[in-house]
Structure 1
Amino acid sequence: MTSGTNTDSEPAPQSRFDNAPELALAWHRAGIGAVLCTVVQTWGSAPRRTGSQLVVGGDGRVEGSVSGGCVEGAVIMEAQEALERGSHTLLEFGVSDGDAFAVGLACGGTIKVLLEPVGHTLAEDTLEALVLARNERRPLAYEVSLASGQGHLVNAASYPERMRMDRSGVEDDGETFVAIHNPPLRVIVVGAVHIAQALVPMARIAGYDPIIIEPRAAFGTAERFPGERIVDDWPDEAVEHLGLDTRTALVLLTHDSKLDDPALMAALRAECFYIGALGSKRTHGQRHQRMIAAGFMQEDIARIHGPIGLDIGAASPAEIAVSILAEMTAVLRGKAA
C-alpha cells in the first residue's frame, strides 16, 4: 500500500441517481436473494468513492460497482458466501503500485467494502423505508456498525455536513459507517433561451437532472434541446407540479417578469437551495421592489442571486452558463459565492 490521503474527507461527485437499494429490495422480494456491497473507506487510489454500491444476487447477477478487476470479482464471490451464511462481512483490499492496474486501481491503495445480506443484517423493513424515502425525495442517512453489521436509518439533520457535501464515510469512532442518501440534484430552468442551451448539457454532466419550463412554443423545441424534458406550462403551474425542495436549483432566464416572477415567488416560499435570475443590477433592483410589494421580507429576497452567476467576466452564452453552474456549486457546498 502506498501512502496517501484518506479520501473519505472528499465529497463524492454527484452522479445520476443510482438504484442499488431499489434493486436489492426487488431481488430479495423476488426470492433471488441480494447482498448490498458498499465502499465504506478508501486510502490512496480508488476507482470508486466512499458510498459507491454494488448489488449481488443469489443467482450471480450483479449491478453497480465498488472497484474493478480482481477486487470486484472477489467481492462478488464473498457476497454470495455472506448470503449463504446470513451474516455481514467487512472486506479490505490493499494493493501495491506494481499490482494496481490488474485490480482496477490507478495506483496503489486500500479499500474496505461492507457486505450486507438483505433480510439478515440489513433488515427488509429498513431497506423498504430507505427506498420509499428515496422515491419521495426525502434525504436520509443510514448508520451501520462495522463490527456487528446492525444498521438503521437516521434523520438527515443528524449529519448536516455530510448531507451538504454528499459525503458518506466512517465516523471518528472507527466503527460507525454513515451512508448518505440525498435525492438527486435537479435544476429547473425557466426559459429555453440560448444560455439554457449551454447550461442544460453542462448541468447534466455535473450530475443534475435538468428540466426546462417554456410556455413559448417557438423556444421550447426538441430540436433546440434534444433528449431533454421540456414542460410547456406556465412557470408557476409547472413548479407547483414539479415541486421545489432542498436538492433543487431554480434558474430564471426569460428576462420577462410575467414569466419569471410567478416561479420566483414559488421558490421564495420553498426550500430550493439555489435561486438565480438573469438581468442587470438595475433589473434586479426592480425585481427586488416587486418582491417587496408582493409581501416578501428582505431576508427572503436575499436568497435570489441576481445578476445571476459568479462575476468571471462572462460574455458568451456558454461563459454565462459556466458562471451560473459555478455559483450553484458554491451555494450547494456552502462556499461564499
Structure 2
Amino acid sequence: MTPELLDRLQQARATRRPVALLTRLPDGAQRLYPDEPISIALGDAAEAALRDDRAGPVTLEGETWFIHPQTPPPRLIVVGAVHVAQALVPMAAAVGLAVTIVDPRRAFATEERFAADATLVTDWPDDALAALKPDSRTAIVTLTHDPKLDDPALDTAIRSDAFYIGALGSRRTHAKRVDRLSEAGHGPEAIARIHAPVGLDIGAVTAPEIALSIIAQVVAARRGKLDGGRLA
C-alpha cells in the first residue's frame, strides 16, 4: 500500500466515510472505492461488499480482486431514555450496533438503567445530534412522545444521511408531527423518511415487543430489505 493510499484510507476512517479497498490478485494493484474510477461491475461488487460488511474475492472480466470494506461501526441513536429504550439497547448491541441514548432528563438517562451497553448523552437532542453528526451508518429513533425533545431530533435526522429514522407514536400523533415538521420547512419527501409508527407491524404491545419490532425494522433497513416501510 502506498503512503498516499494509506493517508486517504485513514482520512476516510476519521470521518466515518465507508470505502472499500480493492486489491487485484496476484499483482497487488490497489484502488479505493468510490474515490477512483473502476469498472461498473467492480463498482457494483464493491457496493455490495459495503452494504453487507463482507470481504472476499471476486472475479470479473478475467481479473480477480479482493474486496475489503472499510466501514465505521453502525450506530443507533435513541432519543428518550424510556422503558422501550431499556429493552432496545441490549437487542441493538447484540446485532452489532453501537448505541447512544440522548435525553436531557438526567433522572432517566442513568448508568443504573442502561448498564454499559450504551453511551449516555444528556444534552438537548438538537445539540446532541449536531455533535454526533449522523451519517449513512447511523439509525435514529425517537421515543419520548414529547415534541420538545422528539421534533428537534427529527428535524436534524431528516437533514442527515441516516439510513433509518423512526418515531414512536400513533398515526394520529404522527399526523400532528408531520404538520409541525411541514411548518418548519420540511417537504413531503423528507418527512416520508420517518418510519412512524416505528417498527414492523408485529402486533407489539409490551416494551420488549416494541423494541423487537424496532430493531427488526432497523436491521431490515440496513440490509436493504425495506420497501416503503414494509419488508421487501
TM-score by length of 2: 0.88
Q: CA deviation at 1:161?
A: 2.8
Secondary structure of the residue that 2:114 maps to in structure 1?
coil
Q: In 2 relative to 1, CA 181–287 (structure 1 residues): closer, same or farther, beyond 3 Å?
A: same
Report the identity percentage.
50
Query: What amino acid sits opposite 1:243 in the alignment?
Result: K
Runs (5+) with no aligned partner, structure 2: 37-42
Residue 258 of structure 1 and its aligned partner are, at CA, apart by 0.7
TM-fit CA distance, 1:203: 0.5
Q: Which of 118, 121, 139 is the equivalent residue of 2:18?
A: 139
Match of 1:238 among 128, 134, 137: 128
Contact 1:141 1:156 in 2 (8 A): no
Q: Which amino acid aligns with 2:98?
A: D
Paired position in structure 1 for 2:50: 163
Query: Which structure's residues are more often helix, by fraction?
Result: 2
**How many positions carry a matched residue from both structures?**
216
How far has the Cα of 1:156 moved from its partner?
7.0
Range with bigger deviation, 222-231 or 271-280: 222-231
Contact 2:138 2:163 in 1 (8 A): yes
Measure how far apart 1:160 and its partner are.
2.8
Return the alpha-carbon distance in structure 2 between the equivalents of residues 156 and 279 of structure 1. 41
**Amino acid in the other structure paired with 1:212:** I
Q: Does the Cα contact within 8 Å between 2:49 and 2:68 map onto a contact in 1?
A: no
Report the secondary structure of 1:224's partner residue: helix
Alignment of 1:192-203 (within 5 A): 192-203=81-92
Matches of 1:285 and 1:334, distance apart in 2 = 26
Q: Which residue is 1:333 aligned to?
A: 223
2:32 to 136, 153, 168: 153
Task: Show CA shifts across 1:251-308 (max 9, x none).
Answer: 1000111100001000111110000000011111111111111111111111000000
Question: Looking at CA atoms only, which structure, 1 or 2, has the larger radius of gyration?
Answer: 1
Q: 2 CA distance for matches of 1:320 and 1:240?
A: 27
What TM-score does the superposition give when structure 1 sets the normalisation length? 0.62
* Stretches of structure 1 lacking an aligned partner (at least 5 in a row): 1-121
Asked whether the 8 Å contact 1:139–1:156 carries over to 2, the reply is: no
**1:132 Cα shift?**
2.6
Aligned partners of 2:47 and 2:22: how far apart in 1?
14
